[in-house]
Each structure stands twice: as structure tokens, then as C-alpha cells.
Amino acid sequence: MQKYIERANVLIEALPYIQRLFGKTIVIKYGGAAMTNEDLTQKILEDVTLLKFVGMNPILVHGGGPDINHMLDSLDIKPKFVDGLRVTDDATMEVVQMVLTGKINKEIVARLNGMGAGAIGLCGIDGNIIKAVKAPPKNGVDLGNVGQIVSINTDLLNTLAHDQYIPVIAPVGTGDHGESYNINADTVAGAIATALKAEKLIFLTDTDGVRTKEDDPESLLYVASKTDILNMIDEGKITGGMLPKVSSCLSAIEKGVGRAHILNGTIPHPIILEIFTDSGIGTMVTG
């Protein structure tokens, strides 16, 4: 009997968090770096399903950088990045769209729906969810078909949430003439969270958060302020794929998103651990 009472207590402890976040939008970015193992993916998707069934509105934005690299490699195309952004020529854009919208998006949706989650897979082209223009050069380098977000179709996302769907969004945007743009998934998650005035923006990656020394787990920051982050960027302590995450967190918070977190998506149930515990896990970014 004691065992069952303890289980009941665990559920009751979640009550204040469920009450606070009931009906609220939670944008979760699931990065390619954390997509390492099917069991862990399943646990993340269970977390997302649970959020929906306790009355929250999760929106999942996914990446897939490593899978894109893998496919490029098999086609003998060398990936090139500037500050975490993929330089995307026409051949690379075809691969990006195929891998993100065809392979990864459908795998995630199929798994969620296998749990009865009511997921719907989309990319920014569908329903003009993400309108974009060509991004300006970065550090003097032309990024090719990389997009800069112009608008998010919040009406469609709100309709889907209202009808109890979980939108699963691949980070490909569309231009005025139907052209496709490759957009970093962190940037897409931040823009969607901002446009929807989400309560929470959560980045799931392959490291436990922002570290002052990238390779030292002891140097994890539980809270990182804007000043901390800008100083670390200046000092070269935040690099590569962490740059768009911290920028998206700062921009989203400045524009009214409640909370922004960077978490380790390679541990079991990271979303539940963040949302249903007081201390949370990972790094919380503040303004």
C-alpha cells in the first residue's frame, strides 16, 4: 500500500505546476545532437505527450544537423558552418529539406501518434508558418539559402493547439516566390515562442546547459544572465551551436516569453524534470 501512496504523492506534487501551466504554450526545441538513442527519444516524446494530456500546449521544433551532415557525406558534399549556421548552397538545400521535412519530421510524428498524441508534422512552408527572406552574410560569408524569419503564422498554430494537435515543426521557411530557406532550428523555436508569447521555451541539446568552460561539467551555470552571456560570447566561451540557442533565449525573454531553458536532452525525461520540479535542471537564461 505504501508504494501506491508514494506514487499518489508524486502525482500530487505535480499539481501546482500543472495548475500554473494549464492552457499555456510551451515551445520545445529538440536538437539533432540529442537525437542519439531511440529509447531516449521515446522518453522525450512521452514527456511531450504528457504535457498535452495534462492541459498544456506543447509545440515541438526539431533540428537534425547530424542527420543532414550524414546525408551530405554520402553525397560527397562537405558541410560548412559560420557561427553555427550552415552555409546552404542549392544542392545542400535539397538535402536539408529532404532530411528535415521528410525523414526526421515524419519519424517524430509517427512516434508521437503511436502514443495517441495527435501530432501533426509541418514545416514553415505548410500554411506559410514561417515566412522568410534571404539572411544577410555572416562574418562576410554569403550563407546561400539560409533564411531570416519575417513572420510566423500564429493563427494556424493557435487553431492546431485549440483542436488539441501537437504541432511538430521542421525549420524550413518559405519566401514570397515559394523558395525554401534553411533556418537554424534554435532560431525557429525562439521566433515561434516569441510570436505565441509562450510561457516557456526549452532547448534540448547534448550538454547539460551553458558552461563557462565548454568541456567542464562542473562549470555549468544554473542561471545565466544577459550580461553573463554577452561576456562569454565576447571571450569566445560560447561557440558553435550554443550561439543560436543563447541568442534565441535572450531575444525571446526580451520580447515577453516567460522562461527560457537549455537542458540536456540525453538524459531520461528532461522535460518532466524541468517542468515538475522547483529547482529544474540545466541553465535558465534570464534578461
Ligand X SMILES: Nc1ncnc2c1ncn2[C@@H]1O[C@H](COP(=O)(O)OP(=O)(O)O)[C@@H](O)[C@H]1O
With left for phi above 0 and alpha for psi between -120 and 50, is residue 262 left, alpha or beta?
beta
Give the β-pairing of 283-285 and 119-123: unpaired
Does 32 contact ligand X by CB under 6 A? yes
Does 59 contact ligand X2W by CB under 6 A? no
* Minimum distance of ligand X from residue 69's CB (angstroms): 11
Q: Which is nearer to ligand X2W, 130 or 183 (CB)?
A: 183
The count of chain residues that interact with ligand X, using the rule CB under 6 A, is 20
Burial of 139 (0-12, 13-18, 19+ CB in 10 A): exposed
The count of chain residues that interact with ligand X2W, using the rule CB under 6 A, is 17
What is the separation of C-alpha 188 from the centre of its chain, rounded to a whole number of angstroms?
Answer: 8
Name the one range near ligand X by CB under 6 A: 2-10, 29-37, 43-51, 103-111: 29-37
Any binding-site annotation on 121? no
40, 96, 129, 249: which one contacts ligand X2W (CB under 6 A)? 96
Residue 169 three-state SS: strand
DSSP 92-155: HHHHHHIIIIIIIHHHHHHHHHHTT--EEEEETTGGG-EEEEEPPPBTTB--BSBEEEEEE-HH
- Partner from ligand X2W, ligand X, none contacting 210, C-beta within 5 to 8 A by type: ligand X
* Minimum distance of ligand X from residue 226's CB (angstroms): 15
Does 252 contact ligand X2W by CB under 6 A? no
Q: Which is nearer to ligand X, 90 or 235 (CB)?
A: 235
- Partner from ligand X2W, ligand X, none contacting 85, C-beta within 5 to 8 A by type: ligand X2W
Site string for ligand X2W, 144-163 (x = CB under 6 A): --x-----------------
* Minimum distance of ligand X from residue 228's CB (angstroms): 10
| DSSP assigned state of 174 | E
Kindly tell me the sign of the dihedral angle through the C-alpha atoms of 38, 92, 148, 238.
positive
Does 211 contact ligand X by CB under 6 A? yes
Give the Cα separation of 245 and 160 in Å (integer): 26
Q: What's the one-letter identity of residue 93? A: M
238, 253, 260, 284: which one contacts ligand X (CB under 6 A)? 238
* Minimum distance of ligand X2W from residue 236's CB (angstroms): 20
Give the Cα separation of 238 and 235 in Å (integer): 8
- Please list every residue from 166 through 185 that binds ligand X2W, using CB under 6 A: 171, 182-185
Which alpha helices (H) appear in the chain, and where do they start and end? Answer: 2-13, 15-21, 38-53, 65-74, 90-97, 105-114, 154-162, 185-195, 226-234, 242-254, 270-275
Binding site for ligand X2W (CB under 6 A): 31-33, 63-65, 68, 85-86, 96, 146, 171, 182-185, 241
Binding site: what residues are annotated? 64-65, 86, 182
